[in-house]
Amino acid sequence: MTTPQDELLPSTRRALLHRIAVAQAEGRAPSLVAAVARGGRTVWHGARTSVDGHAPDENTQYRIGSITKTFTAVLVLRLRDEGLLDLVDPLEKHLPGTGAGEATIGDLLAHTGGLAAESPAPWWERTPGTLRPELADVLGEKPLRHPVGRRFHYSNPGYTVLGALVEKLRGAAWEDVLRREVLEPLGLQRTSTRPQAPHAGGWAVHPWADVMLPEPAEDLGRMAPAGQLWSTTADLARFAVFLVQGDDRVLSAESLREMRQPSAPPEDVDVVTGYAYGLGLELRRSGERLLVGHSGSLPGFLAFLTVAVEDDVAAVVLANCTSGVPLATVGADLVRIVADAEPRIPEPWRPLPEVEPSVLELAGQWYWGTYGFGLRLTADGLISLEPLSGTGRRSRFRANGDGTWTGLEGYYAGELLRPVRRPDGSVDHLDLGSFVFTRQPYDENASVPGGVDPEGWRGIG
């Protein structure tokens, strides 16, 4: 049920409509549809069209291109979580004979596998997939363009390979696995591999004249896991919510958090671009805001899905033109309009139901040498270690159930934090990846490697 708190203010709704109206007019898109989700549900949708009295709605399908890759990545992470593969496994272990077997599963997800950006000619997006019936036809005689694991190089064939991997381990077509394991559980009834009415037609708009040309809508065949899907703003808004909250029927929130972590640097050394890639997800900086999602394009269509996790706002924008509309900018603007005009109202603070005394005694100040840190217990059952100065290494840690904790991000991601106790059970120090954290700077009563000068702290005399 919709409550007054769920509704956007009229001024916010008008600002959203104005933004997509400008995008459709200036980008000369035959039509453009958009949606915004907040608080786990869609709170706004809008449309602009060049056809009077025939505006598409939130259930009209558009082709979403490479947003398909995120769906494929979810299928691969499901296989990992079931123990059927590991992200460090070389492709050859599960899918031998491709010529790209040195690349790991994680490399392929992050576009660091060294594979070519496109399949061999003819242009795969505008020709039938029947021209490339086998995986070898997609990869070509020399699949690799770069050393494996050395650089980010966006690869459509890489996700074709991942789709073939899903088929091999599931024993079923990628399309069938996707429908059974993702689309049906999440209720994405208007997402499909082939267009279903009502759907938009794809158009090319002449760059120097206000005229249009219809684009072909090819079945991509083997390349489908890289860009085949059609969807709607309603379905993609629900999918955006899933990418943050998770759904244990499909993929856990923890695995989705892993997908959202940067796994590959930008192609360009200039990190000012603010772009990185996770596991099937693009990460972009828009001002101080981190946006996570994916873009998509195929001849006749542009698509963009983005989520500001910290603001709890997601946006979807779809257009039926080959080029002209900067959807990444439009999507970021839709998020900004809502997040700035109606900032997220935090949940009320509530005390934890219970805390183990052995965990509570870890809270407070700790020192790595002379660097001060604060260790805090968080409401989600994690612990957070942050520098008291506000700058420096920080991370959250997840309990392992044996008194140790594993870092989740930053420098300490994957590193083990272990309280080291004295014979009487009191904590002597924290061992974090061999670094010693003590209650006082170079605490003489703790086991500090190298020892502490017996004369103690002194001035200059």
What tens digit of pLDDT does each residue of 39-80 get? Answer: 999 999 999 999 887 889 999 999 999 999 999 999 999 999
Say how far apart CA 325 and CA 321 lie, in whole Å: 8
Which pLDDT belongs to residue 19? 98
More confident residue, 269 or 327: 327
What is the number of other CB atoms lying within 10 angstroms of the CB of residue 150?
10
Residue 108 confidence (pLDDT) above 70: yes
Q: Which CATH superfamily is domain 10-341 in?
A: DD-peptidase/beta-lactamase superfamily (3.40.710.10)
Read off the pLDDT of residues 131-172 as tens digits, 9 standing for 90 and up. Answer: 999 999 999 989 999 999 889 999 999 999 999 999 999 999
Q: What is the pTM of this model?
A: 0.88
Closest to 229 in 3D by CA, of 73, 122, 14? 73
Tell me the percentage of the chain whose pLDDT exceeds 70: 97
What is the number of other CB atoms lying within 10 angstroms of the CB of residue 166?
21
**Cα 216 to chain centroid, rounded:** 30
Closest to 34 in 3D by CA, of 58, 65, 8, 51? 58
Give CATH 3.40.710.10 domain extents, the chain.
10-341
**Chain-wide mean pLDDT for the chain?**
93
Say how far apart CA 106 and CA 187 lie, in whole Å: 28
Closest to 167 in 3D by CA, of 128, 216, 221, 204? 221
Q: Find the DSSP H helices in 192-286.
A: 224-227, 233-245, 253-259
Residue 421 confidence (pLDDT) above 70: yes
* Range in 20-34, 307-321, 400-414 with the lowest mean pLDDT: 400-414
Question: Fold for domain 357-437?
Answer: Lipocalin (2.40.128)
Which pLDDT belongs to residue 266? 67
Question: Could you give the angle at the alpha carbon of 105 between the alpha carbons of 139 and 257, nearest 5°?
Answer: 130
Which pLDDT belongs to residue 3? 43
Give CATH 2.40.128 domain extents, the chain.
357-437
Q: Are 338 and 313 in contact (CB under 8 A)?
A: yes
Host H or E run for residue 42: strand 41-49
Residue 21 confidence (pLDDT) above 80: yes
Say how far apart CA 99 and CA 117 lie, in whole Å: 15
Which pLDDT belongs to residue 268? 59
Closest to 263 in 3D by CA, of 110, 149, 146? 110
Tokens of 296: 């998509």
Tokens of 269: 């050394």
Which pLDDT belongs to residue 394? 92
Considering just the CA atoms, what is the radius of gyration of the chain in Å?
Answer: 25
Read off the pLDDT of residues 279-336 as tens digits, 9 standing for 90 and up. Answer: 999 999 999 899 999 999 999 999 999 999 999 999 999 999 999 999 999 999 999 9
Residue 1 confidence (pLDDT) above 70: no
Which pLDDT belongs to residue 238? 98
Which pLDDT belongs to residue 2? 41
Q: Helix, strand, or coil here: 130?
A: helix
The length of the chain, given as a count of residues: 461
Read off the pLDDT of residues 352-378 as tens digits, 9 standing for 90 and up. Answer: 888 899 999 999 999 999 999 999 999
